Amino acid sequence: MNRIFLASLGVAMAVLTGCDNANQSTTTTNTDTVLVKVVPATLPDTAAFRDTTSAQPTALYILKNGHAQAAVTNYGARLVSLIVPDKTGNPTDVVVGYDNINSYLHRPDTYFGAIVGRYGNRIAKGHFKLDGKEYTLPTNDGPNTLHGGTKGFDAGIWTGKQLSDRSVQLYYLSTDGEMGFPGNLQVKVTYTLTDSNTLRIDYEATTDKATVLNITNHSYFNLNGQGSGTINNHLLMINADGFTPVDSTLIPTGKIEPVAGTPFDFRTQTAIGARINDNNQQLKYGHGYDHNFVLNKSKDSLAIAAVAQGDKSGIVLMVRTDQPGVQFYGGNFMKGTNPIKFGKKDDYRSAFCLETQHYPDSPNEPSFPSTELKPGQTFRSTTTFSFSTK
Ligand code: GLA
């Protein structure tokens, strides 16, 4: 039997058995010689990402380094796939996504893999003041503005340019007044897959009027493979002594509180779900974890923000950033209603996000690090997601 046949047999068996993890099927068969152990994760079909009905065509860009692969679409500059080897070498797709552009365009918004902005996370009641002037934004999350408003960067069609087989650059012009924000903001995001299985995201932005900016990537990770069930048994370390507690609408109170003695203490690796049902008001407000952690200062320009490990795959993700915070979101609003890659569903808490960023609602909290960008300045930021196994 040849390998291609075995691979297709694996796919068929995975479909027939409805196995939990399309990446890690352990289905076996007694046919003449072989054990079919693994159904390797594959990239989506690039043709399924061509849409010419919108103002600008959409596409899928592929990055490869010989061990790992990534796919990025210019719709929302979204990371669609990120395939890395698990501890047995089995290619595993660790980010949630759809396998076609129509699902991204027409499904209720989940921000899967998107670049969110102009202001990622929340601005209280859709209002902020800058240089004495009041700005009003559309609200889309109860009384607040979330991820840039009703049509944020995640729903824009960016201009994509493949720089090499390792790198793609995406451009977006957010016009003066778009979603209520001042200034024409030119944004450039570059995804690079390095030889050492690091996905590096570089952000750059300039404006022609003073504005506020908080831009991040909203990938949903499951290190056992997307669609493979709960992430509550993943181990997680977050390099933060403090976090920003929130009110019932997830707006920070303005205080920074120590994580010590709370379910927010992830300074040593802890299972994500170990304390999730504790009687804790912050966990109740967040419906689980949905909080900004104040990252410990470091001499490294790219400090370690977090390390997560898949309990089944042994895949380890290390996140580094130059941003002051990270929003750890535990997939509390995932409902299992959206059909994601490999015939799976986006089940409740089957993925987590580590959104490196400034703190939520900074434009209304003078004590938080500033998110203001002025004409003549260039905003630059980098976050890396590095993969290894244990
Ligand atoms: C962010 C928010 C969450 C939720 C998700 C998207 O991470 O903090 O509350 O809105 O985006 O569902």
DSSP states of 315-350 as a string? EEEEEEESSSEEEEE--TT--S-SEEGGGEE--TTS
- Residue 185's closest CA among 119, 141, 124, 125? 119
Percent of the chain with pLDDT over 70: 90
Asked if the model's pLDDT at residue 383 lies above 80, the reply is: yes
With respect to residue 270, please indicate whether it lies within any of the assigned structural domains.
yes
Question: What are 85-133's pLDDT values in tens digits?
Answer: 999 999 999 999 999 999 999 988 899 999 999 999 999 999 999 999 9
With respect to residue 161, please indicate whether it lies within any of the assigned structural domains.
yes
Alpha helices in 64-180 (DSSP H): 101-106
With respect to residue 72, please indicate whether it lies within any of the assigned structural domains.
no
With respect to residue 131, please indicate whether it lies within any of the assigned structural domains.
yes
pLDDT band of residue 39 (cuts 50, 70, 90) is: low
Instruction: Tell me: do 301 and 161 sit in the same domain.
Output: yes
Ligand 1 neighbour 249 (Cβ under 6 A): no
Per-residue pLDDT, 281: 98
Question: What are 196-207's pLDDT values in tens digits?
Answer: 999 999 999 999
Question: What are 160-184's pLDDT values in tens digits?
Answer: 999 999 999 999 999 999 999 999 9
Per-residue pLDDT, 388: 98
Phi, psi of 343 (to 5 degrees): 70, 20
Average pLDDT, the chain: 92
Ligand 1 neighbour 335 (Cβ under 6 A): no
Q: Using DSSP bridges, classify how beta strands 133-136 and 198-207 pair: parallel, antiparallel or unpaired.
A: unpaired
Instruction: Tell me: do 346 and 260 sit in the same domain.
Output: yes
Instruction: Tell me: do 22 and 152 sit in the same domain.
Output: no
Total number of domains constituting the chain: 2
With respect to residue 2, please indicate whether it lies within any of the assigned structural domains.
yes
Per-residue pLDDT, 115: 98
Ligand 1 atom with least separation from CA of 290: 8
Q: Report the Cα 196 to chain-centroid distance in Å.
A: 20
Per-residue pLDDT, 246: 98
Answer whether 302's CB lies under 8 Å from 232's CB: no
Instruction: Tell me: do 186 and 314 sit in the same domain.
Output: yes
Per-residue pLDDT, 55: 80
Question: What is the span of the domain harbouring residue 119?
Answer: 114-389
Task: Tell how far the Cα of 334 is from the centroid of ligand 1, in angstroms.
Answer: 10
What is the CA angle 279-283-287, rounded to 5? 120
Instruction: Tell me: do 370 and 225 sit in the same domain.
Output: yes
Instruction: Tell me: do 160 and 282 sit in the same domain.
Output: yes
Ligand 1 neighbour 352 (Cβ under 6 A): no
Answer whether 188's CB lies under 8 Å from 167's CB: no
Instruction: Tell me: do 167 and 34 sit in the same domain.
Output: no
Torsion 189-328-125-151 (CA) sign: positive
Per-residue pLDDT, 109: 80
Q: How many CB atoms lie within 10 A of CB 337?
A: 11
Instruction: Tell me: do 9 and 137 sit in the same domain.
Output: no
Instruction: Tell me: do 7 and 145 sit in the same domain.
Output: no
Task: Record the pTM.
Answer: 0.91
- Residue 38's closest CA among 79, 9, 72, 71? 9
With respect to residue 45, please indicate whether it lies within any of the assigned structural domains.
no
Give the domain CATH number at 271: 2.70.98.10
Active site residues: 218, 355
Per-residue pLDDT, 31: 42
Torsion 230-231-232-235 (CA) sign: positive
Residue of the CA atom closest to atom 9 of ligand 1:
290
Task: Tell how far the Cα of 329 is from the centroid of ligand 1, in angstroms.
Answer: 7
With respect to residue 279, please indicate whether it lies within any of the assigned structural domains.
yes
Question: What are 277-335's pLDDT values in tens digits?
Answer: 999 999 999 999 999 999 999 999 999 999 999 999 999 999 999 999 999 999 999 99
Instruction: Tell me: do 194 and 294 sit in the same domain.
Output: yes
pLDDT band of residue 40 (cuts 50, 70, 90) is: confident
With respect to residue 94, please indicate whether it lies within any of the assigned structural domains.
no
Question: How much of the chain is in helix, strand and coil states, percent to nearest 5?
Answer: 10, 40, 50
Per-residue pLDDT, 9: 36
Asked if the model's pLDDT at residue 227 lies above 90, the reply is: yes
Amino acid at 144: N
